[in-house]
Amino acid sequence: MKESVQIEDLAGNLAYEFIDLIKPEPIKIPQSRINFIEQDIKEQLEEASRIPTKTGNIIVVNLGWRGKNYCIRIFFPNLKKPSRREVQDQLQKIYPGAKLWNYQVSDYEPGEPLLQVGGRS
């Protein structure tokens, strides 16, 4: 498409000329403020996948809450397996009114979401 248009009369003489004065500016690609270095990314990912240096049990909890079934992992800072009552108490803090179906001790799997209940530091 042309940016300017010329209109001639019947005799072939120039009658009107339209010139496009407004031209779009070229698109500028902004510079990123974040400089990623491959080594920094590896360190961040490695840091995010570390488990805390605390002793305890990871408990997989199956529950029902508001008509849906859920499965979550909760870290208990105790050496022994928590009782059903202890799991239920902590579950009520996360999902009020939830029904505890079952729970069992699980192994740590890096990258899996994990809730941590309060305990002694």
Cα Dmax for the chain = 103
61: its two tokens: 């909890």
pTM over 0.75: no
Q: Is residue 39 pLDDT above 70, yes or no?
A: no
Nearest residue to 74 via CA among 55, 89, 63, 90: 90
Domain ranges in the chain are: 57-116
Residue-wise pLDDT for 65-117, tens only, equals 998 999 999 888 878 888 999 999 989 988 999 999 999 988 877 777 777 77
CB 99 within 8 A of CB 64: yes
Q: Is 105 helix (H, G, I), strand (E, B) or coil?
A: strand
Q: Is 15 helix (H, G, I), strand (E, B) or coil?
A: strand
